[in-house]
């Protein structure tokens, strides 16, 4: 497992990193935790000519609440998310399910988001919670809603010379709950199927905001908008969740592969949606 030759630029500031990327052109790649990129290089499926290491840039390693949002910097490792007491609901539920402890110690949440692997966990969670991605390019900073950011398998709408510098996730102000149910074959495996659920309740106990997204069952992390629309304005109930689960199952177009048959995966989506929404509702009711 020997990668091909590459140059290394160690950036000290975001501006330096972006400038290095402009200089490197198409052959440049940002390196944060490297938990996807380095294995791809070792297997020679990625051949960056220049790696731009952003790990020395100051100020990108904070995870904190600010202005009603959870802000996550580009150097926040998955393990930091697991350990943080600023997280909530589906974010807190998903963090321990990302990869394995070794990968979580090194890999970053922003890196995983930018990678747009449809089998990655975070983009489903962000789709369910309505997050924004903060990108920094030659022209400055901009914010992109996660639904607009995720464009396809391993593709985002990030500009060629833009660096993801952070995430902004709205923190619910009232009662809320979330879940991330993931079926994996072993620790560290990608999801065979995973379902992210997010519910906010109004004063009467009705659902005011609903988020539901699926991992690994389509070529892209999938927001189940029709199920979300169905849930909003209703009182939580097993019947309601079963109905939402049917919509989620219908939104899944999984493939037969070594992880299992498509029919079964759809059944897992159905089951995990029911269970995830019930867990989210229970957490919200108790909050």
Partner 1 sequence: MAAPTTPAEIGGIGHSVQRKEDARLIEGQGNFLDDIDLPSTLHMAILRSPLAHARINGIDSEAAMALDGVLAVVTGDLMDQHGLAWMPTLSGDTQAVLATDKVRYQGQEVAAVIATDPYIATDALELIEVDYEDLPPITTPQQSLEEGAALIRDEKEGQTDNLAYTWETGDKGATEEAFAQADRVVTLETHYPRSHPAPLETCGIVADVNSVTGQATIYMTSQAPHAHRTLFAMVAGLPEQNIRIVSPDIGGGFGNKVPIYPGYVVATAASLLIGQPVKWVESRTENLISTGFARDYYMKGELAVTDEGRILGLRVNMLSDQGAFYSDAQPTQFRAGLFHVVTGSYDFPAAHIDCKGAFTNKAPGGVAYRCSFRITEASYLIERLVQNAAYEVGIDPAEMRLRNFIQPEQFPYETATGFVYDSGDYPTALRTALDEVGYEDLRREQAEARAEGRLIGIGIAHFTEAVGAGPSRTYDIAGLKMIDSAELRVHPTGKAILKLGVKTQGQGHETTFAQIVAEVLGIPAIDIKVEHGDTDHTPYGLGTYASRSTPVGGAATAVVARKLADKSKKIAAHLLEAADEDIELASGVFSVAGSPDRSVTIQDVALAAYTNLPEGMEYGLEDVTYYDPPNLTYPYGSYIVVVEVDPDTGVWQVQRMVALDDCGVRINPMIVEGQICGGLTEGFAMSAMQWITFDEDGNCIGANFMDYLVPTAWETPKFELLATEVPSPHHPIGAKGVGESATVGSPAAFVNAVIDAVAHLGVRNIDMPVLPDRVWAAIDEAS
Matching residue, tokens 């935790």 = 33
45 binding partner 1? (CB under 8 A): no
Minimum CB distance to partner 1 smaller for 42 or for 142: 42
With CB under 8 A as the rule, give the number of residues binding partner 1: 26
Q: Give the per-residue contact string, 184-223, with partner 1 (x = CB under 8 A; - = no).
A: -xxxxxx---------------------------------
Shortest Cβ 45–partner 1 spacing (Å): 11
Q: Is beta strand 132-137 parallel, antiparallel or unpaired with respect to 163-170?
A: antiparallel
Shortest Cβ 43–partner 1 spacing (Å): 8
Question: Cα dist. 150→24, 191, 220 in Å?
Answer: 24, 18, 8
Q: Give the per-residue contact string, 84-123, with partner 1 (x = CB under 8 A; - = no).
A: ----------------x-----------------------
- Residue 241's contacts (CB-CB under 8 Å, 6 or more residues apart) are 273, 274, 277, 278, 281
Minimum CB distance to partner 1 smaller for 51 or for 268: 268
Copy the structure tokens of residue 269.
Answer: 């989506």
Burial of residue 271 (CB within 10 Å: 0-12, 13-18, 19+) is: middle
Matching residue, tokens 């102000």 = 173
Which residues contact partner 1 (rule: CB under 8 A)?
Answer: 1-5, 43-44, 100, 183, 185-190, 258-261, 263-265, 267-268, 271-272
């Amino acid at each position: 497992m020997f990668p091909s030759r590459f140059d290394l630029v160690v950036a000290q500031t975001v501006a330096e990193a972006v400038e290095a990327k402009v200089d490197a052109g198409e052959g440049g790649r940002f390196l944060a935790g490297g938990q996807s990129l380095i294995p791809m290089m070792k297997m020679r499926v990625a051949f960056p000519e220049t790696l731009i290491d952003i790990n020395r840039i100051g100020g990108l390693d904070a995870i904190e609440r600010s202005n009603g949002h959870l802000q996550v910097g580009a150097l926040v490792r998955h393990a930091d998310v697991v350990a943080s007491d600023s997280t909530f609901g589906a974010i807190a539920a998903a963090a321990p399910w990302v990869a394995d402890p070794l990968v979580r110690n090194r890999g970053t949440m922003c890196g995983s988001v930018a990678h747009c692997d449809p089998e990655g966990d975070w983009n489903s969670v962000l789709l369910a919670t309505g997050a924004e991605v903060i990108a920094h390019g030659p022209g400055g900073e901009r914010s992109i809603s996660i639904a607009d950011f995720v464009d396809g398998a391993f593709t985002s709408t990030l500009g060629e010379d833009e660096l993801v510098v952070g995430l902004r996730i709205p923190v619910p102000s009232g009662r809320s709950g979330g879940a991330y149910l993931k079926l994996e074959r072993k620790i560290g495996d990608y999801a065979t199927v995973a379902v992210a659920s997010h519910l906010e309740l109004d004063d009467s106990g009705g659902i005011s905001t609903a988020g539901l997204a699926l991992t690994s069952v389509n070529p892209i992390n999938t927001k189940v908008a029709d199920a979300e629309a169905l849930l909003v304005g209703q009182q939580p109930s097993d019947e309601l969740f079963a109905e939402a689960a049917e919509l989620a199952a219908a939104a899944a177009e999984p493939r037969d592969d070594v992880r299992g048959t498509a029919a079964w995966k759809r059944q897992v989506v159905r089951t995990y949606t029911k269970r995830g929404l019930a867990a989210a509702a229970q957490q919200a009711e108790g909050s």
